[in-house]
Structure 1
Amino acid sequence: MNYTSAIREIARGTEGARDLTRDEARQLYAAILDGGVPDLELGAITIALRMKGETVDEMSGFLAAAGERVNALRAPSGSLRPVVIPSYNGARKGANLTPLLALLLQRYGVPVLLHGLIEGYGRVTSAQILREFGILPCTNRTQVQQAIDGRELVYVPLSLLSPGLADQLALRSRLGLRNCAHSLVKMLDPFNGSGLVLAAATHPDYLDSMREILLANGAHALLQRASEGEPYANPLRRPRIEHLHEGVGEVLFEAEHESLKSLPNLPENCEARATADWIRRALAGELPIPQPICNQLAACLFASGYATDLNQAKAIVAVDGAGAAHA
């Protein structure tokens, strides 16, 4: 691909720039992920796309290229879809409860793969909280596959899952801006379409574009508003949760808008140890699990194939109190 020509097309400003086709975008991002684009041109392309804004076709092409280069995994035998949880933001204010959702799913025997960054850059990451439970990041692909086959909860650093995307995220420290990789990692399915991706974004415009991209790519996903950028349901007020599958979207839970009658009992701070201690007590039944997370758990049980319909999933969670595995 002629990178100078591509830059000329996408860097003419919001009025004069031409959008890439899906195939052009796939080819360009394939070269980027393969390390074939020189630094100067890569910086120009990254900034040009940021200023122009990526289209659904462009992001679909980027996602296709990323999916072709991910260190792919095999879904375990059986009818359950492994749940893929991207965790890249961490906590700065409220506690990061992504590990709670992952540990709850593990109790039901649902395979769970979390992926993200080890370093939180001042935020509390899922990796740091899971370390309090003795769950350490995997170091090689064989270890990941064995854990998935055993229906264990596994944490995979992005550098192991997709070195090219990890390099793209690292550009933020050099360029001072986010780039499309920050959205792509939240839609990545390392199981080649066999996983259930928990996709989340904070801003409505990003939610809308993620919905279009995931539907266009035939993904299986649960889409919702993020909590501080993390894909767990806001424990204070449930977000809208959509099930995307076979090219269609289905609302499983509408967003809550009513005023809170009482505040749930949440971790006293967002530090890893305090969050882990609270999660332990919640899993032991000593503390109630916030209802929005129970609803999200039910959505996961249904969309992963553990339950035959949403009502059954909600009943399972209600009977178990979300704290004990369903036989």
Structure 2
Amino acid sequence: MTTPHTTPYPAAHIIKEIGRGKKGARSMSREDARELYTAMLDGRVSDLELGGILLAMRIKGESVEEIAGFLDAAEASFAPLRAPAGSSAPVIIPSYNGARKMANLTALLALLLAREGVPVLVHGVPHDPGRVATAEVLAELGIAPACTHAEAEALMAAGKPAFITIDALAPKLAHMLSLRRVLGVRNSTHTLVKIMQPFAGPALRLVSYTHPEYLEMLGEYFTTAVDPARGDAFLMRGTEGETVANANKGQKIDWFHNHERTVLVEKAVEAEENIVLPVDKSATATAEWIASVLRGDVPIPASIAEQVAQCTKAARAM
């Protein structure tokens, strides 16, 4: 006897609509997207159809309704985290890119926020070939990943930044990410993990984009499709895909609150002067530099200090 969680989901009718190329494809409704992605996460879509869906969406690009439906399904696929009691909502820092050309300073952002008394959750991948992952920098700083939701909650309650891999946070999403190794290209899940809100209550999401079309799509998503009770979001161009401000020249940050969009931080016109950054971009050298900043031996880059201040203000206001 089959149940809704095991019944095969025939997806040909969906592929027929989304698989007509970038100009000829039709987008799904939010409800259809939620239903499809739920079936994909539950393993009810055949491998052949799943590959077709992922590639079709890669070519077509996601609409706001599709992203909203996919995210509804994604967030329902794992138990939400509980934020610690206190005067500040948690800040969510996704880390799925790492850094190659610059030092990865995402760990510095997380530690500075925690020092301000803001609960911080960093989630992402443990490593990324050819790049320095945030998890690797945190490990050099003596911060091990939480193995369970309860461990992550305990770390935040103790005033420490919590890092949890996507495998431990949301295993079904981790499986969808792993399909990149099979297909050779990213899929919609790579966008979802960067914008999802894994807490039961309100939180501040730090979101970055790389391609200009995602700036407009995500802007529309946060102003039309998000439940304001889920909290706020900061959106900026990524620093090599990471959500930490560029230490050399800060990016513009848009703030989304109650479906309203406000420019919170203007893009820096000139590069920061007299800035001291690590020459060696390895995880070890980056961790040593971050430790020196936390001790006060090296000044905090102005753009990151501004990001910390704005995050702290918004999180406390929630």
TM-score scaled by length of structure 1: 0.90
Aligned residue identity for 1:217: V
Picking from 268, 275, 281, the partner of 2:279 is 268
Q: Report the CA distance between 1:157 and its aligned residue.
A: 0.4
Any conservation in 2 of the 1:84–1:114 contact (CA below 8 Å)? Answer: yes
> 1:122 is matched with which residue?
130
What is the CA distance between 1:214 and its match in structure 2?
A: 2.6
2:92 maps to a residue whose letter is: V
How far has the Cα of 1:151 moved from its partner? Answer: 2.9
Tell me which of 265, 280, 302 is aligned to 2:291.
Answer: 280
Identical counterparts, % of pairs? 45
Partner residue, 2:265: 253
Superposed CA deviations along residues 10-65 of structure 1, whole A, max 9, x for unmatched, are 11223332210111001111111122111111000001111111111111111111
5+ unaligned residues in a row in structure 1: which ranges? Answer: 309-327
Q: Would you say the 8 A contact 2:82–2:201 is kept in 1?
A: no
1:51–1:160 distance in 2 versus 1, CA, 3 Å: same
Q: Match of 1:239?
A: 251
Once the two structures are TM-superposed, the CA of residue 261 in structure 1 deviates from its matched residue by 6.4
Partner residue, 1:21: 29
> Partner of 2:153 in structure 1?
145
What pairs with 1:1-327 in structure 2 (closer than 5 Å)?
1-215=9-223, 216-218=225-227, 219-258=231-270, 260=271, 262-305=273-316
Separation in 2, partners of 1:125, 1:303: 27
CA distance in 1, matches of 2:216, 2:23: 23
Tell whether the 8 Å contact from 1:236 to 1:263 is kept in structure 2 after alignment.
no
SS in 1 for 2:123: strand
Q: Is the 8 A contact 1:87 1:115 kept in 2?
A: yes
Question: What's the CA shift string for 1:119-143, capped at 9, x where partnerless?
Answer: 2212111110111121101112221
Q: Please list the CA deviations of residues 279-303 of structure 1 after superposition, one character each: whole Å capped at 9, or x if unmatched.
A: 1111111111111101101111111
Equivalents in 2 of 1:43, 1:193: separation in Å? 34
Name the aligned partner's letter for residue 267 of structure 1: P
What SS does the corresponding residue of 1:119 show, helix, strand or coil? coil
Q: How far, CA to CA, are the matches of 2:278 and 2:147 in structure 1?
A: 30
CA distance in 1, matches of 2:150, 2:94: 20
Question: Matched residues in 2 for 1:18 and 1:205: separation?
Answer: 18
The residue number in structure 2 matching 1:321 is none
Q: Is the 8 A contact 1:243 1:303 kept in 2?
A: no
**Structure 2: gaps spanning 5 or more residues:** 1-8
The answer to whether the 8 A contact 2:107-2:138 is kept is yes
Which segment drifts farther, 156-165 or 192-201? 192-201
Q: Which amino acid aligns with 2:295?
A: A
- Distance of aligned partners of 1:201 and 1:263 in 2 relative to their CA distance in 1, 3 Å threshold: farther
Deviation at 1:263, TM superposition (A): 4.5
Count of paired positions:
306
After superposing on structure 2, the runs of 4+ consecutive aligned residues of structure 1 that deviate more than 3 Å are: none
What is the TM-score of this pair, normalised by structure 2?
Answer: 0.92
Counterpart amino acid of residue 162 in structure 1: A
Q: 1:110 to 1:4 in 2, by over 3 A?
A: same
Cα RMSD of the aligned pairs, angstroms, is 1.5
* 1:128-167 CA-partner distances (Å, limit 9, x unpaired): 0111121101112221222222232110000111112111
On the 8 A contact 2:83/2:201 being kept in 1, the answer is no
